[in-house]
Structure 1
């Protein structure tokens, strides 16, 4: 039921989760129920649908106005040029963009919404401002993406968006927001906020992988293997959110796909999109919604309230170790704290299919042919537990020194070869 904006008591959202032990308050809140409910409702609404062409007329008047709002913000990025500075990342011109948005967020939303909803604008403007990144650190991550999801949730709750707009919220409004976020990331060289590097899906986004995998559930033409096929990615990017997100990764990262996007490479081995989608939802709960570094920055007001929910349909189980949650139904786990890379030669947890990328990385678009890596054997020619053949074999250790006048040492008992003094440093 939509909030009655004529009688509702709105308030400016504030940070409410200030310590790890307060995550339970968030997990049991009305806000969590509302956000997860909308996330799942859009997930269902986009099943079997493609994104409309960028030139196509958007859906309802409310959807068109929201797209126009994001278009207007995008024009500011073209106007505000990066400044000359010694550091390569985090261009300070982003702070000018952010300040302009702080000043104009409320007028922008008033132009996009009917007058009867204007009383709700000051509360919702906070989420619009938070969704573009952090002006102090000049970074962007899944917490900022979550702020835009919270804005969409508010728009549904006050009645600005109707139930019929669910699919367009995911396939029209959200993709336009993603293009703005990517434009900001590239223009101002924004740092990833709390990036987990190759052990996460993406340096910046998460939700497009969820809704994009849902789009593909009701078809049999495209399998998850296409995730690791560059030609397929480019061909499908205009229709499906998940491939649009991967296409952007390929644009900004270089090297073998299995190295810079290891989790996505692992996911490409999952058999069905239903499994991918449910696993990504679980991963989102564990890697974003359960994490104090993300939720501590979330703001809660009257539309999305931190008050205990009267009915808890969606459960969020906060793990005892909040630094590394499960990656859900995809059969993957991570124990690496945010911001740390695993030690050389180590892989946190286990990857699906029991395989690691071969030495040197798996080229983009290639999967190991069936039978190339036998079960229980590492890639290459050396069976598990055996030393290589004689070629390249280390010399045997030297035997005891021969006494003066004794006979020559037996084969294999000669003096040790000379080594350079820096051998231990190689």
Structure 2
């Protein structure tokens, strides 16, 4: 039976719709897929060999092209601001506008809309029904951040996960690829996002980062804690406990193999003071006795704080592969913004613009910017 694909769009604007989403087939698809990927990397290291199909290789090639676009789009001079660099919008437009011109007769003129809906980036994915390209590219484009606000958060990270779900449903990848989807594809995505965050000083979406884990990401900690389940396999650190994140030597050594420790090393590289100051949730989690409990807690936390929060899910995109089946949106007299979303509480959703930690770190390195003297302590972040 043929599938009628559609361009994904926002559907959830109220608490009632959010509740319906949480009991829907799409919600179950997302949570089940997270659990499948999570189980696929238990005890697996980033450096371990794993099955890499033609689909995985094609996806990695596509991601390489995204990083290349970033290197081809340097930040503009913007010393007066610690907020997002406007050059990110040029990068974003390039991601959307890498079109099919190289595959079509030169006499054919494409509109910008067609360029956006049919990027050549997806043309080489094996076995992909090209009718699905507009639906896929919507999730893909939205996974790199918000063009207007020049920010990034767990909602954009969720778009990348949805892109992977769609590729799985469309059989570009199969069950044998699940480990590689995490340790190769998803981790490559995180590495590219770090390039974008550091190059364009992307602001954390909302006003509070990802609930004390990381300014931008959640899933690397979820999958990363799965990798560390059963760490008795480790040689030098036979019984690595969650509290090991406070040991710089262990963090440095294990960062090559485990997402969790790599993220801790990254955070420590751009923020001063201790985790208690800038990542209180990570500091609290370090007191948990086992990685099994950390991992199960991360899954519950993701369901509650990402998939269960209206400020995040009101931006979720529903299409044909991940459909919306709940009640219609609220009446137009309900208070909402012109861009089609509501606020349920101060500081959520769009939040108050927060300068990038990369900007603060850069200013800290510049000579003459530090205030020094008796009793003066460095500010851990701003």
TM-score interval, smaller chain: 0.7 to 0.9
**Equivalent residue number for residue 20 of structure 2:** 25
TM-score (norm: length of structure 1)? 0.69
Shift of 1:29: 2.3
Structure 1, unaligned runs of 5 or more: 309-321, 325-335, 341-359, 362-426
Q: CA RMSD in A?
A: 2.5
Query: Does residue 258 of structure 1 match 2:273?
Result: no
Query: Does residue 69 of structure 1 match 2:62?
Result: yes
**Equivalent residue number for residue 348 of structure 1:** none
- Structure 1 residues 247 and 97, CA, compared in 2 at 3 Å: closer, same or farther? same
**Equivalent residue number for residue 91 of structure 2:** 97
1:133 is aligned, of 145, 151, 158, to 145
Shift of 1:252: 1.6
- Structure 1 residues 143 and 196, CA, compared in 2 at 3 Å: closer, same or farther? same
**Equivalent residue number for residue 302 of structure 2:** 284
> Does structure 1 retain, via aligned residues, the 8 Å contact 2:208–2:215?
yes
Instruction: Name whichever structure is richer in helix by fraction.
Output: 2
After superposition, where does 1:72-87 map in structure 2 within 5 Å? Answer: 72-85=65-78, 86-87=80-81
Shift of 1:28: 2.3
After superposition, where does 1:339-358 map in structure 2 within 5 Å? Answer: none
- Structure 1 residues 63 and 109, CA, compared in 2 at 3 Å: closer, same or farther? same
- Return the alpha-carbon distance in structure 2 between the equivalents of residues 52 and 21 of structure 1: 44
> Does structure 2 retain, via aligned residues, the 8 Å contact 1:14–1:301?
yes
> Does structure 2 retain, via aligned residues, the 8 Å contact 1:237–1:247?
yes
> Does structure 2 retain, via aligned residues, the 8 Å contact 1:67–1:173?
yes
Structure having greater relative contact order (Cα 8 Å, sep ≥ 6)? 2
Shift of 1:115: 5.1
- Return the alpha-carbon distance in structure 2 between the equivalents of residues 236 and 116 of structure 1: 37
Instruction: Name the larger-Rg structure.
Output: 1
- Structure 1 residues 79 and 116, CA, compared in 2 at 3 Å: closer, same or farther? closer
TM-score (norm: length of structure 2)? 0.76
**Equivalent residue number for residue 344 of structure 1:** none
1:59 is aligned, of 29, 40, 52, to 52
Query: Does residue 111 of structure 1 match 2:105?
Result: no
Shift of 1:337: 6.7
- Return the alpha-carbon distance in structure 2 between the equivalents of residues 200 and 193 of structure 1: 13
What is the CA deviation profile of residues 207-229 of structure 1, one whole-angstrom value per residue up to 9, with x for unaligned ones? Answer: 01011101111223211111222
**Equivalent residue number for residue 177 of structure 2:** 165
> Does structure 2 retain, via aligned residues, the 8 Å contact 1:208–1:242?
yes
Shift of 1:123: 0.5
Q: How many residue pairs end up in the alignment? A: 312
